[in-house]
Amino acid sequence: MQKQLIQSVVADWGIVTDCRPISGGCISEAARVTVRDPDGKLHDLFVKSNRADFQANFRCEFDALNRLAAIEAIRTPKPLKIQTIGDRVLMVMQWIQTGTTSDFERLGRQLADLHRKSAGGRIGLEYDNFLGASPQFNTPAATWVQFVQENRIGPQLRRATDRGLIDTPTKRDIETLIEAMPTILAGRDDVTSLLHGDLWSGNYLFDTCNQPVIIDPAIYYGCREAEFGMLLLFGGCPPSFYESYNDQWPLPPRWRQRSKVYVLYHLLNHLNLFGATYLSQCGQVAQQMLIDMEN
Q: Is 52 helix (H, G, I), strand (E, B) or coil?
A: helix
Phi first, then psi, for residue 174 (nearest 5°) are -70, -35
Gap between the Cα atoms of 105 and 42, Å rounded:
34
- Would you say 74 and 214 are in contact if contact means Cβ atoms under 8 Å apart? yes
| Annotated active-site residue in 198, 207, 216, 292 | 198
Provide the 10 A C-beta neighbour count for residue 118. 21
Total length of the chain: 295
Closest CA to 259 of 294, 224, 293: 224
Is the backbone of residue 241 left (phi > 0), alpha (psi -120 to 50) or beta?
alpha
End-to-end CA distance of the chain: 54
Sheet bearing 29-36, strands edge to edge: 15-21, 29-36, 42-51, 88-94, 79-85
Query: For residues 218 and 152, is the Cβ–Cβ distance under 8 A?
Result: no
Active site residue 190: no
- Would you put residue 56 in left (φ > 0), alpha (ψ -120 to 50) or beta? alpha
Catalytically annotated residues:
198
